[in-house]
Amino acid sequence: MTYNAGTIDVAVIGAGHAGIEAGLAAARLGAQTIVFTINLDAVGNCPCNPSIGGTAKGHLVREIDALGGEMGKTADACTLQSRMLNLGKGPAVHSLRAQIDRNQYAQTMKHKLEKCPNLELKQGEVVSLCPDGKSWLLTTRLGAVYRAGAAIICTGTFLGGKIFVGEVSYESGPDGMFPSAFLPDSLRDLGIALRRFKTGTPARVLRSSIDFSHLEEQLGDTPIIPFSYDTEEQLENKAVCHISWTNDETKKVILDNIQRSPLYGGMIEGIGPRYCPSIEDKVMRFPDKPRHQLFIEPCGLNTEEMYLQGMSSSLPEEVQEAFYRTIPGLEKVQIMRTAYAIEYDCCDPLQLDATLEFREHPGLYGAGQFNGSSGYEEAAAQGLVAGINAARKVQGKPRLVLDRAGSYIGTLIDDLITKGANDPYRMMTSRSEYRLVLRQDNADERLTPLGRDIGLISDKRWQRFTEKQEQKKAEYKRALSTTLAPSEELNRILVSRETSPIHTGVRLADLLRRPQITYKDLQPVDTTRPDLPEAVLENVEIDLKYEGYIRRQKADIEEMRRLERKALPLDLDYTTLRGLRLEAVEKLNKIKPENIGQAGRISGVSPADISVLLIWLAARQKKPEEKGE
């Protein structure tokens, strides 16, 4: 039996990182929103690792925050330890990573959903989705039928979830939760192409069973740079992480039992993550490597669970205990939660457009691991975009599309919808050809005006942003107009930094353009410097140091956007165009690119094919003019 449970604007299926951002964005934009979760205790769960950010992922968190999302604020509130990664490299790859209190993070996010106006948080398993005119009907396992103007699928690893530990396997979501067992069939009935992916998680172990005297300490940064531009208080490191290494004995235990791994025994059919393999996969894929690093990280302040970063596994429980105990510091370790692999259903993202809406199913969106990505940050970024677009669709407003030249979020989505995902997609700085412009330090400059236009940036936040931009503009002008005279103190600073002393006056901007020199170095002699936030000085210094490269990259961006402005008809049958190669015809008809720029990024579409499309477009645009004559 079913019953009518009511009508809402936007329904979100799942309350993980994608579902949270989707639900909050839609509700804050004025759409009546409901967020379904199989278990309220799973809201905002971090089943893979207790951290937010990392290389390129930190960029995504900053961008989510700049647009008005929630992940950065909550991560700051729950930070145990924070570090800026890759400081030995250029600013394009600097990325924040924070160790967080896992339970506090989940509780904080759940509470934010509960308090959000226009949003209902509901424990319930959605078992079917059915289009009904311009609406979607969602039926729960208890028979409630909801009518929604738009629906967003954010099922994470719950969709058809199956756990593997050695020879044991069973249907389950992460952390022993119930899986979403019925929805996959409903999606297949809609004609949505699904595939099986796999991911894994390491064991959680008891803190008191670890011998920390044999471990290398990993301290956090001081002072801490927050993720969120809204965070005003000074954050503190509350915990220490540790490092250890595997050895030949670890390798031997794993190899002696490799036939018991479901990954190598043929039990697991799903495709696993390329860039975050299990420890047995590392041993098999890199046989010449003598050791592998692991990080021992706290799960929270009020728990004794410790997380073994880099040591995911699906080997049997007793084998896990045996190889963990070969590692220095873990000789007497007690496993609290056994490592496992989880296999799940996800869609082929080539079915989506740039708003994350299914092209063949108007009003239906996908976000997060359901779209073939991996990682909390990638999921949250997609959830934010899907939530914004779902709300705007039901409100009759123009859609939001982020391009790859303006954000890592745009790069992530563009990669998914044009290249697809043959394995779980992970964001990396190398995926962006414009990474010098898309730095984590200028995410607010790039995206906060857009967040304001959308309606997710408060007046207070906007005022702070505009003040910062005015400060940056004034400081940039001051650096260009201020000349520092040669002095004993200045030359001492320059020589100590292994750069040439000066004998005549030199502009402050030219000194800052020297790779060896920073604002901090020049503070004793830069007497006219106003009291400015470190973030402003960082922005100005990077813009000065990399001015030529940034100018060149912006020219490349303008060329890309020129091609993006050349729209292609979405109903175009590419078999009717002469000169295209067969592979290009197949790919173009499958993906239906919206413009020439997007078409050029599709695997299998060559520059020669793009030339054919440009000639066809030019001829098509010329025909109406000829008729007018």
Q: What is the Cα Rg of the chain in Å? A: 26
| Per-residue pLDDT at 272 exceeds 90 | no
Exposure string (b/e) for 513-549, b if CB count within 10 Å is 16 or more? bbeebbbebbeebbeebeebeebbbbbbbbbbbbeee
Is it the case that residue 97 has pLDDT exceeding 60?
Answer: yes
Task: Specify the pLDDT at position 625.
Answer: 53
Percent of the chain at pLDDT exceeding 90: 95
Compute the average pLDDT of residues 260-272: 86
What values do phi and psi take at 163, rounded to 5? -95, 145
Collect all residues with Cβ–Cβ distance below 8 Å to 1 and sequence separation of at least 6: 143
The strand pairing partners of 275, in sequence order, are none
| C-beta separation of 258 from 264 below 8 A | yes
* pLDDT band at residue 265 under the 50/70/90 scheme: confident
- For residue 555, pLDDT over 70 is answered with yes
Q: Which helix (H) or strand (E) covers residue 41, if one does? A: none
Please give the CATH topology (third level) of the domain spanning 565-628: DNA polymerase; domain 1 (1.10.150)
Q: Which helix (H) or strand (E) holds 606?
A: none
At 138, the pLDDT band (50, 70, 90 cuts) reads: very high
- CA–CA gap between residue 397 and residue 110 (Å, rounded): 29
For 262-321, give the secondary structure using H, E and C: HHHHCCCCCECCCCCCCHHHHHHHCCCCCCCEEEEEECCCCCCEEEEECCCCCCCHHHHH
User: Is residue 603's pLDDT more than 80?
Assistant: yes
The correct CATH number of 459-552 out of 3.30.428.10, 1.10.10.1800, 1.10.3470.10, 1.10.238.10 is: 1.10.10.1800
pLDDT at 275: 76
Q: Tally Cβ neighbours within 10 Å of residue 170.
A: 10
Phi and psi at 330, nearest 5°, equal -115, 20
- Give the pLDDT confidence score for residue 623 in this predicted structure: 67
Q: Check if the beta carbon of residue 389 is closer than 8 Å to that of residue 238.
A: no
What digits encode the pLDDT tens for the residues 430-470? Answer: 999 999 999 999 999 999 999 999 999 999 999 999 999 99
pLDDT at 139 over 90: yes
- The reported pLDDT for the residue numbered 279 is 94
Rounded CA separation 594/565 (Å): 9
Tell me the C-alpha to C-alpha distance, in Å, between residue 315 and each of 164, 206, 312, 372, 411.
8, 20, 9, 25, 36
Instruction: Let me know: does 354 contact 411? Beta carbons within 8 Å.
Output: no
Does 354 have pLDDT greater than 90?
yes
Structure tokens given for 471:
């400060």
Secondary structure class of 124 (helix, strand, coil): coil
Say what the pLDDT of residue 629 is: 41
Sign of CA dihedral 383, 387, 389, 394: positive
| pLDDT(626) > 70 | no
Q: What DSSP letter does each residue of 244-260 carry, written as one string? A: EE--HHHHHHHHHTGGG
Give me the phi and psi of 298, to 5 degrees please.
Answer: -75, 145
Q: What is the CATH number of domain 3-73+117-198+344-452?
A: 3.50.50.60
Q: Give the separation between CA 340 and CA 177, rounded to whole angstroms.
A: 13
pLDDT band at 263 (very low <50, low <70, confident <90, very high): confident
**Distance between CA atoms of 439 and 436, rounded to whole angstroms?**
6
* End-to-end alpha carbon distance in the chain: 66
Buried b (16+ CB within 10 A) or exposed e, 439-457: bbbbbbebbbbbbbebbbb
For residues 258, 263, 264, 268, the Cα torsion angle rounded to the nearest 10 degrees is 140
Contacts with 331 (C-beta within 8 Å, 6 or more apart), sequence order: 211, 325
pLDDT (0 to 100) of residue 628:
45
Q: In the structure encoding, which two tokens stand for residue 390, read together?
A: 């779902």
At 495-549, the pLDDT tens digits run 999 999 999 999 999 999 999 999 999 999 999 999 999 999 999 999 999 999 9
Q: What does pTM read for this prediction?
A: 0.95
| Cα 256 to Cα 145, 251, 600, distances in angstroms | 52, 9, 48
**Could you tell me the residue ranges of all domains in the chain?**
3-73+117-198+344-452, 204-343, 459-552, 565-628
Confidence (pLDDT) at 266:
81
What are the φ and ψ backbone dihedral angles of 168, each rounded to 5 degrees? -95, 135
Helical spans, DSSP H, in 50-151: 57-67, 71-77, 102-115
Check residue 149 and give its pLDDT: 98
**CATH assignment of 204-343, among 2.40.30.260, 3.40.630.30, 3.40.50.720, 3.40.1010.20:** 2.40.30.260
pLDDT at 563: 92
Q: How far apart are CA 413 and CA 402, in angstroms?
A: 8
Instruction: Please tell me which residue, 201 or 264, carries the higher pLDDT value.
Output: 201
| Rounded mean pLDDT, 38-50 | 95
When the pLDDT of each residue in the chain is averaged and rounded to a whole number, the result is: 95
Instruction: Identify which of 220, 210, 261, 270 has the alpha carbon closest to the alpha carbon of residue 240.
Output: 220
* Sign of the C-alpha dihedral computed for residues 314, 317, 318 and 321 taken in this order: positive
Cα(312)–Cα(340) distance, integer angstroms: 7
627: pLDDT strictly greater than 70 = no
- Alpha-carbon distance of 221 to 99, in angstroms, equals 12
Helix (H) or strand (E) holding 34, with range, is: strand 33-37
